[in-house]
Amino acid sequence: MRLVLVGPPGAGKGTQAQYVAVHLSVPQISTGDIFRANVGQGTPLGLEAKKYMNAGDLVPDEITINMVRNRLAEDDAAKGFLLDGFPRTVPQALELDNILADLGTRLDVVLELVVDDDEVVRRLSGRRTCRGCKRIWHVDFDPPTVNGICDACGGELFQRDDDNAATIQNRLSVYAASTAPLVAFYAERGMLVGIDATGPVDDITERAIDALRRFG
């Protein structure tokens, strides 16, 4: 199966991508991993991307698309893959069509993790990071024994700037503006399946697998 996973910040895409990919026996391919691999290995695309990253600029779509193209051409992706973080826009989705056509295949399904904004804000604004060991806790879902103190190393816990409510709301607005057209694009093609991404992780994974069965 060849699928794309989409969902807002805080929807649990990283966790679900890992579990679903293992269940389907396909590689989990995230844009973050692709960037790190190219930059770390000093590939021509990685060196080009690093110039933009070091300057604080967005990496152009062309570089990202070519990195994705190269990754999908690797042997382990020949029988399927789960893409997390790409495409993010309709133009990128059209480029993905071209990549897969060149490889003699096509996308099967787009799985959307559906979470309302209030739940996203609750999930992300409740995170606390240890200044010492960098472990992440959560005031509701995974609280430390002593408020503000890391159980693992005794370090001070703090809220990162990008975990405050105002920043999260802005991230959600950006996501909605760029991804809502993408979701509509795949829905019109009959390729979109959405699942409720609230509740225990195992329950969400079970919903995802059940939803994907009709595309298998």
Residues annotated as catalytic are 13, 88, 127, 160, 171
Q: What stretch of H or E contains 158?
A: strand 157-158
CA neighbor of 172 nearest in space, from 8, 18, 40:
8
State both tokens at 127: 């995170």
Q: How far is CA 55 from the centre of its chain?
A: 24
CA neighbor of 91 nearest in space, from 182, 18, 158, 167:
182
Instruction: Report phi then psi at 140, rounded to 5.
Output: -105, -45
Q: Which residue has the tokens 């991230």?
A: 171
Q: How far is it between the farthest Cα atoms of the chain?
A: 56
CA neighbor of 125 nearest in space, from 114, 139, 113:
139
Q: How far is CA 179 from the centre of its chain?
A: 12
Task: Specify the 3-state DSSP secondary structure of 193.
Answer: strand
Helix (DSSP H) and strand (DSSP E) numbers for the chain:
8, 8
Vertex 109, ends 108 and 115: CA angle to 5°? 170
